[in-house]
Structure 1
């Protein structure tokens, strides 16, 4: 896979090993009983339709040649697919699924509104390097997906359960979580295939470094890490200092992988890769 891919994989293995140790320890601190329901923040979207509308408005204001926009276009597409699945009653717990989508999207919207100083470490690399030369659109799209799934999704699961008075063991929660990730996986694969179709028109030496960097990123591994993170967060909720420390540490680790995914590897003299856009 090459040096850069090995670095990214090593970082992910470190995250998984650390989470495994914390999970074993956290299991003795708390159980998964429902805690007191919490109110959603006032700026949290209230429906998938509202999420889609906000994403469309935000996307319209982004430059075409922009790293955050590369992720944003894919994420809007994913959200539209989730909205269609919800309308088709494809989820076991429709109320949970709609709230999860709102909480999940709200975390990304928070990252967009944040300043450089206040933005989560998980998202910092994508926003800081959004105009970096030599980085393919696929790299930006997957870097955003890495931050959103590996950090935001676990947090969104816990917050959604708290808002609705559910737990991670409530009927439908795990099943709907997996269903959403099937939609995410299909969207990521679509973007990969679009990119590879363009790569076929370029010299092999231009494509290989980019594929080496992004090829090791797995949405399945990210999904599993997000669920594991949610279980750790649930166990740590009653210990505010430990919970805050865990979130800070996880954000930094996720940000490290995001940064590796954005390593410049393109050959500028060959121009942009055809078909790599939205």
Structure 2
């Protein structure tokens, strides 16, 4: 039992850091909006670990922590790679709605950070991406269910959100399922290129830029 508590400490640490951000950031801040979503996901992962829902707890913890640390570095320092810059730039824009902030954060974190976290975890655990696929899928399933919930929580009511509403168009242009599939392919490609550091760096840079472009579109300010 003592050994299990020690293994869970890294997840407890990232949860604590997210709770600190939640307590200190203004409620309407774009990073704060995403942080609340991600905190709920990480707490759910922690509960699943406690319940023994992951066949390989060490792999799940490693992936979860490596993944979270990439976001926390951005949130705590206030700067980051291209994928996060739209959210950091528009985080206080009055014309951007909370749902846009949440999805832009998910876009940056899933589209870019998760691929790099898979590679980080493979290096730490000395394994192949295929060995982490079950954990990747389980975490992804939690994110999909959470995305559905935040859309319900943050979406304007049906009397406000009509088919021609600009937000409807923006939301229809991005899919977490597609982003997750693309991320798995990107992680495998980065791992395959690990012996060619120049190519791997160029691939990662282009992935970062492409995800950042999608984030900028998601954060298009909308009229009231």
Q: Same fold (TM over 0.5)?
A: yes
Match of 1:128 in 2: 89
Structure 2 residue runs of 5 or longer lacking an equivalent are 1-7
State the alpha-carbon separation in 2 of the partners of residues 266 and 77 from structure 1: 29
Match of 1:59 in 2: 22
TM, length-normalised to structure 1: 0.74
Match of 1:237 among 187, 194, 199: 194
Are residues 203 and 51 of structure 1, via their aligned partners in 2, closer, same or farther at CA, if it must alter by over 3 Å?
closer
2:200 maps to 1:253: no
SS in 2 for 1:199: coil
- Tell me, yes or no, if the aligned pair for 1:46 and 1:99 is still in contact at 8 Å: no
Question: What is the aligned length?
Answer: 217
State the alpha-carbon separation in 1 of the partners of residues 205 and 77 from structure 2: 16
Match of 2:181 in 1: 224
Are residues 74 and 190 of structure 1, via their aligned partners in 2, closer, same or farther at CA, if it must alter by over 3 Å?
same
Query: Runs of 4 or more off by more than 6 Å in structure 1?
Result: none
Match of 1:154 among 98, 106, 115: 115
Map 1:100-249 to 2 at 5 A: 100-114=63-77, 116=79, 119-170=80-131, 173-196=132-155, 198-200=156-158, 202=160, 204=162, 208-249=165-206
State the alpha-carbon separation in 1 of the partners of residues 184 and 154 from structure 2: 29
Match of 2:5 in 1: none
Q: Pairwise CA RMSD of aligned residues? A: 1.7
- Tell me, yes or no, if the aligned pair for 1:55 and 1:76 is still in contact at 8 Å: yes
Structure with more helix by fraction: 2
State the alpha-carbon separation in 2 of the partners of residues 99 and 255 from structure 1: 26
State the alpha-carbon separation in 1 of the partners of residues 172 and 9 from structure 2: 36
Give CA-to-partner distance per residue, 1:124-176, whole Å, 9 cap, x none.
11001101121110000000000000000010011001101111122xx2112
Are residues 203 and 103 of structure 1, via their aligned partners in 2, closer, same or farther at CA, if it must alter by over 3 Å?
closer
- Tell me, yes or no, if the aligned pair for 1:122 and 1:252 is still in contact at 8 Å: yes
2:219 maps to 1:262: yes
State the alpha-carbon separation in 1 of the partners of residues 53 and 140 from structure 2: 13
State the alpha-carbon separation in 2 of the partners of residues 86 and 51 from structure 1: 14
Give CA-to-partner distance per residue, 1:32-52, whole Å, 9 cap, x none.
xxxxxxxxxxxxx96211111
State the alpha-carbon separation in 1 of the partners of residues 144 and 20 from structure 2: 25
Looking at both structures, which has the greater relative contact order when contacts are Cα pairs under 8 Å and sequence separation is at least 6? 1
Are residues 203 and 84 of structure 1, via their aligned partners in 2, closer, same or farther at CA, if it must alter by over 3 Å?
closer
SS in 1 for 2:95: coil
Give CA-to-partner distance per residue, 1:13-65, whole Å, 9 cap, x none.
xxxxxxxxxxxxxxxxxxxxxxxxxxxxxxxx962111111110122110011
SS in 2 for 1:169: helix
- Which is greater in Rg? 1
- Tell me, yes or no, if the aligned pair for 2:95 and 2:221 is still in contact at 8 Å: yes
Match of 1:24 in 2: none
- Tell me, yes or no, if the aligned pair for 2:83 and 2:209 is still in contact at 8 Å: yes
TM, length-normalised to structure 2: 0.92
Structure 1 residue runs of 5 or longer lacking an equivalent are 1-44, 268-278
